[in-house]
Amino acid sequence: MSAPQPPVGGAGYHDVDAAAAARANAAWWSDAASQYLAEHGAFLGDADFCWCPEGLREADAHLLGPLEELRGSRVLEVGSGAAQCARWLRAQDVEVVATDVAAGMLERAAELDAVTGISVPTVLADARDLPFADASFDVAYTAFGAIPFVPDADRVHAEVARVLRPGGRWVFSVTHPVRWAFPDDPTAHGLTVQRSYFDRTPYVETDAAGAPLYAEYHRTFADHVRDVVGAGLVIEELVEPEWPAVNTNVWGGWGPERGALLPGTAIFRTRRT
């Protein structure tokens, strides 16, 4: 079982030591794994591929490509959490490996393997230092994994580009950059801009001694594009999922009230040159 998380002593927007924050995030996601799945597991599904809180599913979006092509490909999930997305792909007879930096999440993945009867190979790994050979995958993806939680997302893109074969596809979903200007409130109270869109100061939670427990990083659209292009990738498509009327789920700052007016997710579909 995941360990209880230490109490939060403070929270706000301020600079933080990058290495300390990265270590803290790995520990936070590991410790929070059981609680996270208890809160969001039903929405995500044990073996389903959900791209975002809007509920866009890969079964409908086909952002990774046609299943017929994927079945002949080697696929990598980065920042997999409990590997629900990878488990859905395995159920479609796709060869996939799931990676995450949080040991607690991969422990939950093993539990879900047992529950579903669908086994997914998992590897404990930092997305910025993937333990795979060059050009060893045809497709890679992450659904809100890794990129928001590291100070140097350009390294994630560079590592993914390295392990992709020429022409390989990299698809990733992140918090829509516009959302960082608004408070993390899913109601009408969250519709007033409170921060500059251009302020990249990370959101940080600290313990009583001021050490980081959790950090999340904002990037503008230009930042994401710069990181992707700098890794030798070409953007093929940008998807901004609309909030469907049937989705009554509330997830942090995401919910139907604000989702009807503001985008909450950006999904980049890219390809290695």
Q: Which helix (H) or strand (E) holds 122?
A: strand 122-124
Yes or no: say if 212 and 20 are a contact pair by the CB < 8 Å rule.
Answer: yes
Which has the closest alpha carbon to 254: 190, 171, 177, 173? 190
Rg of the chain taking only CA atoms, in angstroms: 18
Burial of 45 (0-12, 13-18, 19+ CB in 10 A): middle
Sign of the four-CA dihedral 15, 192, 257, 171: negative
The per-residue pLDDT for 8 is 77
DSSP reduced 3-state for 107: helix
What's the one-letter identity of residue 81?
Answer: G
84-138 pLDDT per residue, tens: 999 999 999 999 999 999 999 999 999 999 999 999 999 999 999 999 999 999 9
36-67 pLDDT per residue, tens: 999 999 999 999 999 999 999 999 999 999 99
The per-residue pLDDT for 5 is 64
- Grade residue 2 by pLDDT with cuts at 50, 70 and 90: very low
Cα separation of 70 and 48, whole Å? 16
The per-residue pLDDT for 1 is 39
200-217 pLDDT per residue, tens: 999 999 999 999 999 999
Q: Is the pLDDT of residue 245 over 60?
A: yes
Mean per-residue pLDDT for 218-240? 98
128-175 pLDDT per residue, tens: 999 999 999 999 999 999 999 999 999 999 999 999 999 999 999 999
Q: Which domains does the chain have, with CATH numbers?
A: 10-272 (3.40.50.150)
Burial of 166 (0-12, 13-18, 19+ CB in 10 A): exposed
Sign of the four-CA dihedral 59, 62, 64, 70: positive
What's the one-letter identity of residue 159?
Answer: E
Characterize 14-43 residue by residue with b for buried, 16 or more Cβ atoms within 10 angstroms of its Cβ, and e for exposed: eebeeeebbebbbbbbbbbbbebbeebeee
- Grade residue 237 by pLDDT with cuts at 50, 70 and 90: very high
- Grade residue 7 by pLDDT with cuts at 50, 70 and 90: confident
The per-residue pLDDT for 4 is 55
The residues pairing with 98 across neighbouring beta strands, listed in sequence order, are 77, 122
The per-residue pLDDT for 174 is 98
